[in-house]
């Protein structure tokens, strides 16, 4: 008797969202199957998206082998963004490290002007990640949203401490919200519920926080997997948004990645592949060779 593998069919669908404008805008979500379950009944209409991360200032703690691909442009954010585009990234993610009040404490106006300049210099979409200080981000991110009105950026982190002021600016100026919660599915859903009081769910991308291989990765994987299962199988509306894995910054601060380029590339590549299997729709990496490795692997 011929064996026929069982085929699953689910009724839940991840919301489809677009980031950026024009021909190179990227589409996320839309799938009604679990990650890479192409043998089931359903589809995943959009391939995973990969962004390369850049900083708005020259990094001081990156290992030499991470700096190498960008060493001649790393002091110029516009040229750095163009180099990321040249390496085949689908998007560029700008980390506004200089706005950190514990560091250079750059002004909101200065950061917003730079983001607009970068966004206008490249043809691929732009993701914006603040300093991570919720009070300073509540000043910086609304200004970025205002100055870049209509550019349809993905802006975050939108946190429980500042979701209303940042989220309303995102809504008013035509952007998407990068909603970040700390490795807890209840906190993730709670933040989404609060955002959805005024922001359409089609304007939200979930970030459950990512960890690097060997540094609590299993917990990250399990949480992302659970989010995707709830959205696709259970039809939980607060988990049916696309997911982002901001993994580059976690990988390249590890001892292993800093010590050896080969280890760093493998750590970043394997972390990325794992989070793709967990259900990430967009991944943020730092090294162009990792980007190339992962793209080749899934092609």
Q: How confident is the model at residue 62 (pLDDT cuts 50, 70, 90)?
A: very high
User: Could you give the CA distance from residue 149 to residue 133 in angstroms, rounded to a whole number?
Assistant: 23
Q: Crossing angle, helix 134-147 and helix 108-121, to 10 degrees?
A: 50
Among 108, 116, 154, 109, CA closest to 133:
108
Residue-wise burial string across 122-132, b where 16 or more C-beta atoms lie within 10 A, e elsewhere: bebbbbbbbbb
pLDDT digits (tens, 9 = 90+) for 180-213: 999 999 999 999 999 999 999 999 999 999 999 9
Given this model, what pLDDT does residue 40 score?
85
CB-CB neighbours of 299 under 10 Å: 6
- What secondary structure letter does DSSP report for 68? G
Better-predicted residue by pLDDT, 24 or 16: 16
Q: CA angle at residue 282 from 148 to 181, to 5 degrees? A: 80
Q: Which CATH class is domain 18-26+47-298?
A: alpha beta
Q: How confident is the model at residue 19 (pLDDT cuts 50, 70, 90)?
A: very high
pTM reported for the whole predicted model: 0.96
Longest dimension (CA), the chain: 71
Number of residues written out for the chain: 299
């Amino acid at each position: 008797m011929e064996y026929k593998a069982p085929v699953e069919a689910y009724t839940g669908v991840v919301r489809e969202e677009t980031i950026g404008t024009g021909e190179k805008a990227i589409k996320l979500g839309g799938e009604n199957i679990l990650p890479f379950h192409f043998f089931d009944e359903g589809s995943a209409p959009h391939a995973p998206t990969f962004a390369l991360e850049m900083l708005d200032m020259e990094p001081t703690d990156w290992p030499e082998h991470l700096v190498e691909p960008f060493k001649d442009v790393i002091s110029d954010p516009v040229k750095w963004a163009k180099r990321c585009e040249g390496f085949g990234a689908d998007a560029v993610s700008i980390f506004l490290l200089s706005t950190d009040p514990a560091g250079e404490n750059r002004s909101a106006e200065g950061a917003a002007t730079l983001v607009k300049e970068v966004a206008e210099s490249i043809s691929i979409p732009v993701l914006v990640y603040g300093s991570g200080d919720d009070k300073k981000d509540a000043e910086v991110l609304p200004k970025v949203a205002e100055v870049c009105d209509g550019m349809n950026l993905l802006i975050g982190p939108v946190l429980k401490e500042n979701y209303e002021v940042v989220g309303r600016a995102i809504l008013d100026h035509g952007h998407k919200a990068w909603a970040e919660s700390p490795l807890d599915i209840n906190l993730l859903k709670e933040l989404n519920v609060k955002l959805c009081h005024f922001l359409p769910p089609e304007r939200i991308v979930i970030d459950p926080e990512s960890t690097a291989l060997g540094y609590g990765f299993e917990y990250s994987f399990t949480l992302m997997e659970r989010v995707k299962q709830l959205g696709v199988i259970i039809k939980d509306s607060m988990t049916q948004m696309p997911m982002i894995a901001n993994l580059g910054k976690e990988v390249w601060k590890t001892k292993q990645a800093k010590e050896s380029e080969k280890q760093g590339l493998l750590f970043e590549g394997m972390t990325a592949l794992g989070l793709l299997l967990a259900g990430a729709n967009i991944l943020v990496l730092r090294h162009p060779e990792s980007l190339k490795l992962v793209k080749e692997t899934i092609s």
